[in-house]
Structure 1
Amino acid sequence: MGNSRAVKSGAFNAALLRLTISGVLLGCCTGFAQSAPLPPGTSLDETAPVKDPGPLAKAEDAIANKDYDQARSLLDPYLSAHPGDARALFDRGFLEDSQEHDEAAVGYYQKAIAADPKQFESHLALGLVLAREGKQKEAGEQLIAATELEPNPPDPAAKAQAFRALAQLDRNSDPDAAKQALLHALQISPETPDDILLTGEIAEAEGDLASAETAYRRALQQQPESSAATAGLAHVLIAQKKYSDAEPLIQAALRRDPDDPALNTQMALVLSAEGKQDASVGVLEKLHQFKPEDDSISKMLADAYAANGQPDKAAALYAQLLKSRPEDPSLLAAYGDSLVRQQHYAEALPVLQKAVALKPDDGNAWSGLAFAASQQHNYQLVLDSLSARSKYLQETPATYFLWATAYDNLHHTKQAADYYKLFLAAAKGQFPDQEWQAKHRLIALGYK
């Protein structure tokens, strides 16, 4: 479940943030270049000489028109002569930001803030870039600073965007703070469809699945083809195990957007939960072809192969994933299990031994290690593995049988007989071959 969410949300959608900067931030900041309103009762004399707007206004117009070379040619000479001009430094940072040169943009925004700590626009822009880079703590500091300042000229939409950006940033780590930030935004600007979607994400992060479902359904009422709202609602339905409700919703969205990774991931989860393993594997194979570099998708496909009785395919993917994460105990355990299922016991032993060394409380990995050791006739390792396993998991007929045969092969007659009896009591006819063997070994050992 966590994988699908990870595909769905991420830290900050880069495209959204760049749209935020260009759509709201540039609008508020190019106000620097706009003429003041004419006094009441006056009119514009078109015959009067036109005043030169100056290099900064010209540069801002060039940026707005995406003429970045022209903007740079105006800003660089100006900054050489006026290195402490906060407005020019912001414009220079915005120029780099518009071209996705994040490192350079950050440098100019920081210089603008140093020149004028109360400049709203640079705090907001810097916070957005840092958030895009995944630097949440630093981004939060800048966005909070922006919410405590005012745009110049006054711009409620830009101020609201600072609160919205802060809400986005906090929605998973501090959903209560995110809720408060979003409320501040709504106090000074109209609600948008993205606000409704964010409300659902915040409610989901708080564990309020009912409220999240309501918000996502409301978002879909306003934007029926929203993949993000569909994915959010589907995620909540899956979390509530409402698979029959989630499946048609996801299918309809996939007809509109067949390559959406979040929707495909959710469809695979629903199909797997409904026991449709072949169909689930098919969806994940398509997704893996679309995004072969995505480790979370590769892991899901490997797990699906394992659940679907295809350990050879699972093992190939696990081995590939381990190249970049060689110390991941869950991957090692899964890889070792897939080797055991292929009867590659000698290969499985060192893999599973490494897995339990890294994560000693993985009872299932100890189970696999005990079975592989038994097949390799390493009976002392069987006993050691079963002893470690017993700290975390209950005994089963299979583990009783492993205990018994290990003791038997080590000629510990009394212990072997005790475990054969425990096995027979637990098996109750479910394992006829092993039960026949246990009964005959008890006779051979002198126990009836």
Structure 2
Amino acid sequence: MRLHTALLLTLALAPCAAIVHAQNTPLPPGTAAPPDAPASTSTAKAGPQPGPLNIAEEKLDARDYAGARAVLLPYLSAHPGDARALFDLGYAEDAAGDTAAAEAGYRKAIAADPKQFEAQAALGLLLANQGRRTDAVTALQAAALLTPAPPDPAAQAQGNRTLARLLEPSDPAAARRALIAALQQSPETPPDTLLAAELAAAAGDTDAAADAYGKVLAATPAGSPAQAEAAAGLAHLLIAAKRYPEAEPVLRKALASNPQSPALNSELAEVLSAEGKPEDSIAVLETLHAGHPDDSAISTMLADLYTQTGDLDKADTLYQQLLATHPHDATLLAAHGDALVRGKHFAEAIPVLQEATRLNPSDGNAWSGLAFAASQAGQPQLVLDALAMRSKVMSETPATYFLAATACDSLHATKRAVELYRQFLSVAGSGFPDETWQAKHRLIALAK
């Protein structure tokens, strides 16, 4: 049986590498070399082969997929259980763009020979290209337990690399094992190092993750996707550790070669904001937003910064746009409500914050905002109701004692108001001079 090696097309889920299989054909076109790449020229043989299969596989090597199919169909009519021929037909169907027929061919090959590594690997890669993560994992995990005939570490490494990428979001530990297996089977590549960094970060090993990101930065050319991804990953670690002065030069260096990168620009805006440079951060985000007006994450960051810097009309415009497409996003509603409160639009803020707290009753800050808005709008019972809900998820503060005291005062619940004013004064310190003056004078008035 002759063997061939073909370069895989770049998978969205994993980097590509060469892979060998047990037929005289490349792996499926969803994972094979582009049309202008040279055909495989391997001539290894495992023994004499039936004439029709050799002919079909030579046509597959020459990318004459229709011709190969024309040979394979009559052959399979006479030999329906031939796993090798079923695999070849699956490949021919895949090359013709009929992925359903290709999948069927691969599955028939596996049914005919469950130990055929090549069919399991081809099926897994085909499913991965289709975004069918769960099915792809099942196929590639099965392939990982098999051995190509003859052995081909590069083929096994590619399957394990793809498996590692597929497992990364749901099972980092299993992804790490798959990556280790791949590295035992073939040399390490920059995408491997990036994945290792991501897995280390997910496991909480920030030192190992930072080292791996640094290794990629040192080994890849400026402006390459790997450079941008490594810089973004390293900056994320530094931001999480609040090491903003270290993160900024990493990001600026990467942006010199990748000025339009949304990830790098977003992280730079976050760093600048954390460093107390909100205007610089807004400038970065405004440019980014102009190029990506439909990116909700960018719009949300910009709206939040507008709120923080007091540009409330711009913030309100962005929140309205965001909520038009995400009307049930509790976080957006709470942020919009906060902007309305800061703009003293208390009556408008109340229904927005009520909806936010209905969707997410555990958001203590939204309950605080609702209580304050209700206080300013003259709705004391709503103040008390909101504070009661807030107390279930957050501790009391001087501000909550004062809001509750004034609400009870307005409702003529004198005894409770006196208790709350006294609680406020016991914890207020010097941070609330106006409220302290008001509390003291109300206690005098209520004592009469």
Give the TM-score of the pair, scaled to structure 1.
0.81
Cα deviation per residue 1:222-250 (whole Å; 9 max; x = unaligned)?
A: 22532222222222222222221111111
- Please say if residues 14 and 161 of structure 2, whose CA atoms lie closer than 8 Å, have aligned partners that are also in contact: no
Q: 1:355 — aligned with what?
A: 356
Q: 2:419 — aligned with what?
A: 418
Structure 2 residue 10 is matched with structure 1 residue 16? yes
- Percent identity, aligned pairs only, is 50
Q: Which whole-Å CA distance do the structure 1 matches of 2:373 and 2:100 have between them?
A: 52
Q: 1:90 — aligned with what?
A: 90
Q: Which whole-Å CA distance do the structure 1 matches of 2:143 and 2:53 have between them?
A: 32
Q: 1:126 — aligned with what?
A: 123
Cα deviation per residue 1:383-428 (whole Å; 9 max; x = unaligned)?
A: 1111221222232332222112211111112222332333344444
Structure 2 residue 67 is matched with structure 1 residue 74? yes
Q: Which whole-Å CA distance do the structure 2 matches of 1:443 and 1:311 have between them?
A: 39
Q: Which whole-Å CA distance do the structure 2 matches of 1:19 and 1:441 have between them?
A: 66
- Please say if residues 133 and 166 of structure 2, whose CA atoms lie closer than 8 Å, have aligned partners that are also in contact: yes
- Please say if residues 86 and 105 of structure 2, whose CA atoms lie closer than 8 Å, have aligned partners that are also in contact: no
84-93 vs 218-227, which moves further: 84-93
Give 5+ residue unaligned stretches, structure 1. Answer: 1-13, 40-50, 63-69
Q: 1:270 — aligned with what?
A: 271
- Please say if residues 15 and 161 of structure 2, whose CA atoms lie closer than 8 Å, have aligned partners that are also in contact: no
- Please say if residues 29 and 152 of structure 1, whose CA atoms lie closer than 8 Å, have aligned partners that are also in contact: no
SS at match of 1:327: coil
Q: Which whole-Å CA distance do the structure 2 matches of 1:191 and 1:21 have between them?
A: 11
Q: 1:398 — aligned with what?
A: 399
- Please say if residues 89 and 111 of structure 1, whose CA atoms lie closer than 8 Å, have aligned partners that are also in contact: no
How far apart are residue 17 of structure 1 and its match? 0.9
How far apart are residue 257 of structure 1 and its match? 0.7
Cα deviation per residue 1:153-177 (whole Å; 9 max; x = unaligned)?
A: 6432111111111222223433332
Taking a change above 3 Å as real, the CA distance of residues 104 and 371 of structure 1, as seen in their structure-2 partners, is: farther
Taking a change above 3 Å as real, the CA distance of residues 78 and 281 of structure 1, as seen in their structure-2 partners, is: farther
How far apart are residue 148 of structure 1 and its match? 1.9
Q: Which whole-Å CA distance do the structure 1 matches of 2:294 and 2:23 have between them?
A: 39
- Please say if residues 28 and 158 of structure 1, whose CA atoms lie closer than 8 Å, have aligned partners that are also in contact: no
Q: One-letter code of the match for 2:255?
A: L
- Please say if residues 86 and 116 of structure 1, whose CA atoms lie closer than 8 Å, have aligned partners that are also in contact: no
Q: One-letter code of the match for 2:362?
A: D
Q: Which whole-Å CA distance do the structure 1 matches of 2:258 and 2:55 have between them?
A: 48
Structure 2 residue 200 is matched with structure 1 residue 203? yes
Which of 163, 174, 179 is the aligned partner of 1:177? 174
Q: Which whole-Å CA distance do the structure 2 matches of 1:245 and 1:102 have between them?
A: 48
Structure 2 residue 148 is matched with structure 1 residue 147? no
How far apart are residue 189 of structure 1 and its match? 1.5
Q: 1:306 — aligned with what?
A: 307
- Please say if residues 262 and 288 of structure 2, whose CA atoms lie closer than 8 Å, have aligned partners that are also in contact: yes
How far apart are residue 378 of structure 1 and its match? 1.6
Taking a change above 3 Å as real, the CA distance of residues 419 and 192 of structure 1, as seen in their structure-2 partners, is: same
Which of 216, 221, 233 is the aligned partner of 2:218? 221
RCO higher in structure (CA 8 A, sep ≥6):
1
Give 5+ residue unaligned stretches, structure 2. Answer: 1-7, 27-39, 47-51
SS at match of 2:170: coil
How far apart are residue 137 of structure 1 and its match? 2.5
SS at match of 1:442: helix
Q: 1:42 — aligned with what?
A: none
Which of 114, 132, 136 is the aligned partner of 2:133? 136
Q: Which whole-Å CA distance do the structure 1 matches of 2:109 and 2:61 have between them?
A: 16
136-145 vs 106-115, which moves further: 106-115
Give the TM-score of the pair, scaled to structure 2.
0.81
Cα deviation per residue 1:319-355 (whole Å; 9 max; x = unaligned)?
A: 3333443333222222222222222222222222222
Q: Which whole-Å CA distance do the structure 1 matches of 2:59 and 2:9 have between them?
A: 26
- Please say if residues 194 and 212 of structure 2, whose CA atoms lie closer than 8 Å, have aligned partners that are also in contact: yes
Taking a change above 3 Å as real, the CA distance of residues 38 and 125 of structure 1, as seen in their structure-2 partners, is: closer
Q: Which whole-Å CA distance do the structure 2 matches of 1:125 and 1:52 have between them?
A: 19
- Please say if residues 93 and 107 of structure 1, whose CA atoms lie closer than 8 Å, have aligned partners that are also in contact: no
